[in-house]
Structure 1
């Protein structure tokens, strides 16, 4: 008879245990965001992105910075080049040997790099 009296008590204890909230997992730490690194600018040259190595030879054309984009056709380039208008659409194909002339809103060359 002791066993049958114990059965309701055990059943009640099990039902109450099911009503208890589940234990909460410990919060996972958030990893720190990586600090972006930017290459140092080329000393004394504004508008030229530093690429090492400068495979396309963009440094050779820095004298054309701030000049109208129309001078590009008169330079006599023998290498492949691309002219990117201000806010123009640029294809995403990358060629490290191609010179890229980027124009500002006024149509002047404001950046020369490889791509």
Structure 2
């Protein structure tokens, strides 16, 4: 009996339904996400952080080598950033535990 089942054709795989991404719905939780401009992103980009996104994945040395003339600040993993010191024209470089830039924003 065992030999007969080994020669049987393999069952056809079941079709996989395509994943549908709905704007305004978090694909993981299924909960609504507010898409109002400015609430989830800092607008406008007063410090021109978008110009330096190529530095993501680099180190602090790359920031120094880039010759940025605007005020900058390195924020280490878990570092506390006071809102009293907020400067919308300063570029913040968020670092991970290894000192690699993971995020760039204004503040």
| TM-score normalised according to structure 1 size | 0.55
- The Cα RMSD (Å) is 2.3
Tell me how far apart the structure 2 counterparts of residues 108 and 56 of structure 1 sit (CA, whole Å).
Answer: 21
Q: Flag the 1:39–1:107 CA change in 2: closer, same or farther, 3 A.
A: farther
After TM superposition, the structure 1 = structure 2 runs for residues 29-108 of structure 1, keeping only pairs within 5 Å, are: 37=34, 50-92=41-83, 93-108=85-100
Deviation sequence 1:14-56 (CA, Å, 0-9, x none):
xxxxxxxxxxxxxxxxxxxxx874667xxxxxxxx83211000
Q: Which has the higher helix share?
A: 1
Decide which structure has the larger Cα Rg and report it.
1
Q: Where does the alignment leave 5 or more consecutive residues of structure 2 unmatched?
A: 1-31
Q: Where does the alignment leave 5 or more consecutive residues of structure 1 unmatched?
A: 1-34, 41-48
* Deviating 4+ runs (over 6 angstroms): none
| TM-score normalised according to structure 2 size | 0.59
